[in-house]
A and B are shown apart, each in its own frame.
Chain A
Amino acid sequence: MASNSKKPAPRTAASSSSSARPKRSTPARRVLVLVATRKGAWLFHGDAQRKTWRADGPHFLGHIVSHLMLDPRDGRTLLAAAKTGHLGPTVFRSTDLGRSWKEAARPPAFAKAPVGQPGRAVDHTFWLTPGHASEPDAWYAGTSPQGLFRSADGGVSWEPFSSVNDDPQYREWMGSVQDGTPDGPKLHSIIVDPRDPAHLYFAMSSGGVHESVDGGRSFSTLVQGLEVVEGFDAANLTFHDPHCVRLCPSNPDRLYQQNHCGIYRLDRPSTEWLRIGRKMPKRVGDIGFPLVVHPRDADTVWVFPMDGGSVWPRTSPQGEPAAYVTRNGGKTWQRLDAGLPSSQAWWTLKRQAMCADTHDPLGLYFGTTSGELWMSRDEGARWACIAQHLPEIYAVETAELG
């Protein structure tokens, strides 16, 4: 299927910001922001200074696009996880930065169940992770309901991991659709250790965090220290709800996690997560979905807290959105809200909707449930809106083009 409507590209300007740090040289590599929404996908091309942005889209207008990723290994292959409200899920692939798209020959799908047994069907592919640098055509995908898949041919065909998808213990931990999040239970946060292609992590909402050291032939649980909702048994993986797990590129032995029950850090080889969100202001709490790690500093992490009180409104706390940053591994946190609405702003961010670039100073990007795309050119010291009136944003990723 080809889908693309080319439209005049509006240019928007992010207002100039005054960095808290001295100005440093900015690499010439241009940032591409990949925005996946409930009604299609957009690419925002930045200039070298990250000041003006050219919108390219919509791609797949009307499709629910859960994730859009550029392959960092070749700098031109895009994969989009898409479905519509009525049609089955699929993956689209572009090798020319979205000028043309081709559908995967075999999108992620569960194995056919034995006769007489109820089988599962992929509702949507939710998460895409490019494989290890040494495996240029490898990709991983996570689905809803929870499933783990791998492609060895650049996303054209996908194979299920029976070690997870069909394992009776894993199926029990995944629970039923009723145990899942409002858009369905998800497998997400697929991480490939940059030092070892056989060392994998993934997380399930619900179902906990898991690790493999043999390329996915077997997995072990990694939930020690994580809390669950009061009254439930933390020994039961079904009750574990990791929202977003990230590995620090500058120290692959360090992981951070935004969980349904707080913010955590894990320093391998330890297997015990430490709740670092306790140091967040009580009025804001440490509930949220996205978490962003600094590409060069394993002590620096950004989160975007959400109201997880009472009925779980899933809005910014008090209608006052803000990111928080720690620069010491979670010992202390600072609020970053300059430029953001100071009141009556009830949006929040989904777990894939916040990310960073690799410039110095680092750029941060997030997309809101209300369809606004924001960025900061100074590591969160000041925010500016790049685009408004997009559909609900599900995922924001960056890529850098030479």
Chain B
Amino acid sequence: MRVLIPGPLRSYTAQSWVEASGATIGAVLADLERQYPGIRFRMIDEQDRMRANIRFFVNGAATFDLARPLRPTDEVQIVQALSGG
């Protein structure tokens, strides 16, 4: 499926949209890590929690659950919430 990568993580992917596969958000992140080593830890901490300013959307709807099921036709958007200075 198509995954939108936020600007701060494009140093890993070199493009805004990438292809990744997986039956859940967590599986898609694992596939992204396989393709772009290091990218997952920038978004997900060592306790498998989403980092404070990283948001995940599936077809435009926010999700906070790494186990959220996905269909191959879904589109995942990863967004960096803006905050701070």
Report whether B38 and A90 are in contact in the complex, using a CB–CB cutoff of 8 Å. Answer: yes
Contact segment of B18-26, B68-76, B77-85? B77-85
C-alpha gap A119/B31 in the complex (Å): 24
Residue pair A107, B84 in contact (C-beta under 8 Å): no
Residues of A within 8 A of B52 (CB): 86
Question: A87: which B residues are within 8 A, CB to CB?
Answer: 8-9, 42-43, 51, 54, 80
Q: Which of B37, B47, B51, B54 contacts A120 (CB 8 A)?
A: B47
Q: Is B53 an interface residue when CB atoms closer than 8 A count as contact?
A: yes
| CB-defined contacts of A119 to chain B, threshold 8 Å | 46-47
A170 CB to nearest chain B CB (Å): 18
- Residue B41 contacts which of A3, A86, A88, A120 (CB distance < 8 angstroms)? A88
A86 and B8 within 8 A (CB) = yes
Name which residue of chain A comes closest to B84, CB basis: A85
Q: Whole-angstrom distance between the alpha carbons of A85 and B38 in the complex?
A: 17
The answer to whether the Cβ of A166 comes within 8 Å of any Cβ in the partner chain is no
Tally of A-B Cβ pairs under 8 angstroms: 60
**A113→B54 CA distance, assembly (Å):** 22
Q: How far is the CA of A104 from the CA of B46 in the complex (A)?
A: 15
Closest to A108 in B: B46
Given contacts A2-B11, A86-B8, A86-B80, contact A103 B38 (CB under 8 A): yes
A residues 161-220 with Cβ under 8 Å of B? none
In the complex, which residue of chain A has the Cβ closest to the Cβ of B41?
A: A88
Total residues of chain B contacting the partner, CB 8 A? 23
Residue of B nearest to A87 (CB): B42
For A109, A113, A121, the residue with the greatest tally of chain B CB atoms inside 10 Å of its CB is A121
Give the chain A neighbours of B51 by CB distance below 8 A. Answer: 86-88
Complex CA–CA separation, A119 to B45 (angstroms):
10
Judge whether A84 and B49 touch: CB under 8 Å: no
B12 interface residue per 8 A CB criterion? yes
Contacts of B43 in A (CB 8 A): 87-88
For residue A311, CB closer than 8 A to chain B, the reply is no
Per-residue A-contact encoding for B47-63, CB less than 8 Å = 1, 0 else? 11101111000000000
B residues near A3, Cβ cutoff 8 Å:
11
Q: For the complex, is A362 an interface residue (Cβ under 8 Å from B)?
A: no
| Complex CA–CA separation, A103 to B12 (angstroms) | 10
Secondary structure class of chain A's binding surface, majority of residues: loop
A2–B83 Cα gap in the complex (Å)? 25
Taking the closest CB of chain A, its distance from the CB of B35, in whole angstroms, is: 14
Contacts A1-B11, A2-B11 known; A88 to B42 CB distance under 8 Å?
yes
B57 → A minimal CB distance (Å): 16
Task: Report Cα–Cα, A103/B36, bound state, in Å.
Answer: 11
| Complex Cα–Cα for A244 and B10 (A) | 37
CB-based nearest B residue for A62? B8
A105 contacts across to B, CB distance below 8 A: 37-38
Q: How far is the CA of A1 from the CA of B42 in the complex (A)?
A: 12
Residues in chain B near residue A103, CB distance under 8 A: 37-38
Q: What string of 1s and 0s marks CB contacts (under 8 Å) between A1-31 and chain B?
A: 1110000000000000000000000000000
A122 near B: Cβ within 8 Å?
A: yes
Contacts of B48 in A (CB 8 A): 112
Residue in chain A with minimal CB distance to B54: A86
- A110: CB under 8 A from chain B? yes
Query: Shortest beta-carbon distance, B4 to chain A, in Å?
Result: 16
Provide the residues of chain B in CB contact with A109, threshold 8 Å.
41, 45-46
CB neighbours of B8 from chain A (8 A): 84, 86-87
**How distant is B46 from chain A, measured CB to nearest CB, in Å?**
4
Residues of A within 8 A of B37 (CB): 103, 105
- Would you call B83 and A90 a contact (CB within 8 A)? no
A194 to chain B, nearest CB (A): 33
CB interface residues, A 98-156, toward B, < 8 Å = 103-105, 107, 109-113, 118-122
- Interface residue ranges, A against B (CB under 8 Å): 1-3, 84-88, 90, 103-105, 107, 109-113, 118-122
24 sample A-B contacts, Cβ–Cβ < 8 Å, listed by A number: A84-B8, A85-B53, A85-B83, A85-B84, A86-B51, A86-B52, A86-B81, A86-B83, A87-B9, A87-B42, A87-B80, A88-B51, A90-B42, A103-B38, A104-B38, A105-B38, A107-B38, A107-B41, A109-B45, A110-B46, A110-B47, A112-B48, A119-B47, A122-B45
Using CB atoms and an 8 Å cutoff, list the residues of chain B in contact with chain A.
8-9, 11-12, 37-38, 41-49, 51-54, 80-81, 83-84
Kindly list 13 other residue pairs between chains A and B, CB separation below 8 angstroms, not including A110-B47, A113-B47. Answer: A1-B11, A85-B84, A86-B54, A86-B81, A86-B83, A88-B42, A90-B41, A90-B42, A103-B37, A110-B46, A112-B48, A119-B46, A122-B46
